[in-house]
C-alpha cells in the first residue's frame, strides 16, 4: 500500500473525518484558475485528476486534527440523464457504484438516475470525469454532477445521500430533489441553518461541482487559492 494518499499527496493519517462542532457554516467559492484535462492523446503518462482539484482536497483536509484517521475516498454523483449510457460505462469501469434510487424507481429510471461512484486512479472513467472534449466518454462539459471526499464507505454514503433525493413542501407534497446539480445544490445549502447544513453534509467533506466554472462547498473560514462568491452565512 502506498504511504501517501493519491488524491492529496498527504500521509494517509491526514485524510480523515473531522468534527465540525465549532466551525462556521458552509461557504461557496469559485475556483480562480482551473483547467479541465484534455484528451491527452499520445501522452506517455496520463494525468488522472487536475492539479487544482488535488490542491483543493489537500488544503481542505490538512485542517483535520483527529489522529484516528480514515482513508480518504473520493466519490462522484453522476447523472445518467446527462450522460447517455452511463450505467453501461460504470459496469465496464469496474468501479464501485450504486444507483441512488432503489426498487421500482431504480428499475424504471436507471438510465436517467443519479449514480454514486467511488473514483479510483486506476480507472479511465475517473480521468474522463475531469476531461473536456467531444468524445461521448469525456464528461466535464456535460456538468454531470459533483465530486466529494469522505472517510465513509459506499454503503454509509449512499444511505446518507438517499435521504435527500426527495423533499417535502409545506403542504406535505413530495418532490424529486436533484441536489447533485450545481444550481440546486448551492441554493439549497446556503439557505440552510448551520445545524441543517451539518445534517446535509454528514460524512461528506469538501464538495466540488463538476463542469465549467466549478464551485467549492466547504466549511468556513480559511481560504486556499479560491475566491468567495458568497459568504454563505447560515440563516
Look at 45-49, 62-66, 150-154 and tell me which has the smallest mean pLDDT. Answer: 62-66
pLDDT band, residue 15 (cuts 50/70/90): very low
**pLDDT confidence of residue 3:** 56
Look at 52-66, 113-127, 136-150, 177-191 and tell me which has the smallest mean pLDDT. Answer: 52-66
Closest CA to 5 of 95, 60, 56, 71: 71
Mean pLDDT of 107-128: 94
Mean pLDDT of 71-87: 93
Mean pLDDT of 161-173: 90
CA–CA dist 26, 216 (Å, integer): 10
CA–CA dist 26, 191 (Å, integer): 10
**pLDDT confidence of residue 232:** 38
**pLDDT confidence of residue 229:** 44
**pLDDT confidence of residue 64:** 55
Q: Which three cell numbers stand for residue 7?
A: 488524491
pLDDT over threshold 90, residue 92: yes
CA–CA dist 181, 146 (Å, integer): 7
pLDDT over threshold 90, residue 231: no
pLDDT over threshold 60, residue 67: no
Beta-strand pair 26-31/215-219: antiparallel
**pLDDT confidence of residue 96:** 97
Mean pLDDT of 93-97: 95
pLDDT band, residue 199 (cuts 50/70/90): very high
Question: When comparing pLDDT for 101 and 41, which is higher?
Answer: 101
pLDDT over threshold 80, residue 223: no
Question: When comparing pLDDT for 32 and 128, which is higher?
Answer: 128
pTM passes above 0.85: no
* Mean pLDDT for the chain overall: 83
For the chain, the straight-line distance linking the first and the last C-alpha, in angstroms and rounded, comes to: 44
**pLDDT confidence of residue 55:** 86
Instruction: Answer yes or no: are the C-beta atoms of 149 and 74 closer than 8 Å.
Output: yes
pLDDT band, residue 8 (cuts 50/70/90): low
**pLDDT confidence of residue 103:** 92
Amino acid at each position: 500500500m502506498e504511504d501517501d494518499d493519491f488524491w492529496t499527496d498527504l500521509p494517509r493519517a491526514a485524510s480523515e473525518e473531522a468534527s465540525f462542532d465549532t466551525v462556521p457554516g458552509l461557504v461557496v467559492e469559485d475556483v480562480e484558475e482551473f483547467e479541465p484535462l484534455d484528451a491527452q492523446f499520445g501522452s506517455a503518462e496520463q494525468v488522472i485528476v487536475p492539479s487544482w482539484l488535488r490542491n483543493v482536497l489537500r488544503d481542505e483536509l490538512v485542517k483535520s486534527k483527529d489522529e484516528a484517521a480514515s482513508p480518504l475516498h473520493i466519490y462522484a454523483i453522476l447523472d445518467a440523464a446527462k450522460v447517455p449510457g452511463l450505467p453501461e460505462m460504470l459496469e465496464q469501469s469496474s468501479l464501485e457504484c450504486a444507483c441512488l434510487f432503489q426498487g421500482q424507481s431504480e428499475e424504471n429510471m436507471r438510465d436517467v438516475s443519479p449514480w454514486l461512484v467511488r473514483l479510483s486512479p486506476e480507472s479511465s472513467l475517473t480521468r474522463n470525469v475531469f476531461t473536456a472534449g467531444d468524445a461521448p466518454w469525456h464528461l466535464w462539459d456535460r456538468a454531470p454532477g459533483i465530486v466529494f471526499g469522505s472517510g465513509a464507505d459506499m454503503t454509509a454514503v449512499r444511505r446518507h445521500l438517499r435521504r435527500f433525493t426527495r423533499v417535502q413542501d409545506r403542504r406535505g407534497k413530495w418532490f424529486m430533489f436533484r441536489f447533485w446539480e450545481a444550481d440546486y445544490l448551492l441554493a439549497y445549502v446556503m439557505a440552510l441553518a448551520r445545524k441543517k447544513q451539518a445534517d446535509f453534509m454528514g460524512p461528506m467533506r469538501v464538495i466540488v461541482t463538476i463542469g465549467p466554472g466549478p464551485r467549492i462547498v466547504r466549511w468556513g473560514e480559511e481560504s486556499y487559492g479560491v475566491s468567495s462568491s458568497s459568504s454563505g452565512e447560515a440563516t
